[in-house]
Amino acid sequence: MNWSNLSILLTGGTGSFGRAFTEIVLREKKPHKLVIFSRDELKQHEMHMDLLESGYSEKSFRFFIGDVRDSARLKRAMQGIDIVVHAAALKHVPACEYNPFEAVQTNIIGAENVINAAIDAGVTRVVALSTDKAVNPVNLYGATKLCAEKIFVQGNAYAGKKGTRFSCVRYGNVIGSRGSIVPLFLKQRAKGVITITDPRMTRFWISLEQGVSLVLLAIEERYGEGRGGGEIFIPKIPSMKITDLARAIAPECKIDVIGIRPGEKLHESLISVDEARHTVDIGTHFVIEPENAPGGYEPWKGKSLPDGFCYVSDKNTEWLTVEDLQKLCGESGSHAKGRETTTATVGA
């Protein structure tokens, strides 16, 4: 595919993923235009200045103030767009639990608005970001993302002959993203005490760059061929133990176990046993194929998964050591330098 002829709309464009996606796409893909859609004027201004300081031309990107809750604004933003990457969401578990209607409005109704606007505008490809918390969800955030996945997959049927194709990517905790566990541990290290909710806890771990690469893969696979749509792309990524992360960041600190919070799991899943029945292993990643595939859909060539397979963080075959985590946390800290952080636990 020729990226130089393509225009991209990125919702939630000023978040951690949005910033990384913008930098990588402008540097490596050089699209005709990248439209960064978000609702925070200040974050847009700061990101605009950062891009100019990095040497990117204003001809290659635009900023568009709007909210995915506003369907009319989305429709205006999608005029002339070829690809949509939907990253906008309320993602912090405690905030979603306390503000359930707000989470539904953004994560579910906002997703519906993206689907309708993309179909009406004749967008070719839409890729939505999801999370391991959408698998067998125990909190509202995970439940809203599960709903979003379902309607994006089914969006292919709604598109009909329009040809818009919808897919999702699903991955685990992102190293050093806003509100993640790493900034919290770094803050607590100065006080000499690290708080963890449960020492048995494990999580999947992925870098922002790996997350961007997965989204680009989901865009490029079968682009414009009409053979895909409805897939959920799952990366093969390592797991980590929360106690190892604490040792990596603050080995000299006391660990205070405060108890698991409402909405948290001990371990996260990326593929459930039921999903594994229609999932294929294509080497670098898994593809969950749609059970109700759109017309013209061609199955992926790959290995079927064995009966009873599930992809769970505590049963993973790849693990990050304390040394691995020290290196990764150092890199994520420099990548996120100067950005805001909020308090969260590993379950957020």
Amino acid at 145: K
Give CA–CA dist 106/334, Å, rounded.
30
Q: Where does the pLDDT of residue 341 fall: very low under 50, low under 70, confident under 90, or very high at 90 and above?
A: very low
Please name the residues in contact with 346: beta carbons below 8 A apart, sequence gap of 6 or more. Answer: 173, 181, 196, 197, 201, 203, 242, 245, 264
Whether 284 shows a pLDDT value over 80: the answer reads: yes
Q: Is the dihedral of CA 313, 318, 321, 325 positive or negative?
A: negative
The DSSP code for 206 is: E
Taking alpha carbons only, the member of 256, 259, 237, 260 closest to residue 246 is 256
Query: Does the pLDDT at position 337 exceed 80?
Result: no
Active site residue ranges: 133
DSSP 3-state percent helix, strand, coil across the chain (nearest 5): 40, 20, 40
- Angle made by CA atoms 93, 22, 47, in degrees to the nearest 5: 80
> Mean pLDDT across the stretch 153-162?
90
- Residues 230-242: tens digit of each pLDDT: 999 999 999 999 9
CA distances (Å), origin 251, targets 181, 268, 300? 16, 25, 45
Are the beta carbons of 140 and 100 closer than 8 angstroms? yes
Summarised one tens digit per residue, pLDDT across range 307-328 is 999 999 999 999 999 999 988 8
The count of C-alpha atoms lying within 13 angstroms of the C-alpha of 252, restricted to the half-sphere facing its C-beta, is 5
Could you tell me which residues come within 8 angstroms of residue 336 by beta carbon, excluding any fewer than 6 positions away? 16, 176, 177, 178, 183
Tell me what pLDDT residue 173 has. 87
pLDDT, tens digit (0-9, with 9 covering 90-100), for 55-77: 999 999 999 999 999 999 999 99
- pLDDT of 294 reads 72
Query: Average pLDDT of 78-100?
Result: 95
Run of H or E residues at 125: strand 125-131
What the block records as the tokens of 206 is 């992925």
Cα(64)–Cα(73) distance, integer angstroms: 9
* Residue 343 clears pLDDT 50, i.e. is over it: no
Higher-scoring residue by pLDDT: 223, 75: 75
Lowest-confidence range among 51-55, 234-238, 289-293?
Answer: 289-293
Integer Cα distance of 346 and 242 in angstroms: 8
**pLDDT surpassing 90 at residue 151:** yes
Mean pLDDT of the chain: 90
Question: Mean pLDDT across the stretch 154-171?
Answer: 92
Distance of alpha carbon 340 from alpha carbon 72, whole angstroms: 30
pLDDT in tens, 254-264: 999 999 888 88
pTM for the full model?
A: 0.91
Domain ranges of the chain: 3-172+206-236+269-312
Query: DSSP string of 157-174?
Result: HHHGGG--EEEEEEE-EE
What tokens does 69 get? 């809750």
User: Does residue 332 surpass a pLDDT of 70?
Assistant: no
Averaged pLDDT for residues 114-122:
97
pLDDT (0 to 100) of residue 344: 31
Is 338 a residue whose pLDDT tops 60?
A: no
Q: What is the C-alpha to C-alpha distance for residues 119 and 156, in angstroms, rounded to an integer? A: 9
Higher per-residue pLDDT: 211 or 348: 211
- Encode burial over 286-323: b for 16+ CB neighbours within 10 A, e otherwise: bbbbbeebbeebeebeeeebeeebbbbbeebeeebebe
CATH topology of domain 3-172+206-236+269-312: Rossmann fold (3.40.50)
The tokens of 179 are what?
A: 């509100």
Q: What percent of the chain has pLDDT over 70?
A: 93
**Cα gap 269→271, rounded to integer Å:** 6
pLDDT at 285 over 80: yes
Q: Dump pLDDT digits (tens) for 9-30.
A: 999 999 999 999 999 999 999 9
pLDDT bracket for residue 226 (50, 70, 90): low
* Cβ neighbours of 259 (radius 10 Å): 9
pLDDT of residue 190: 87
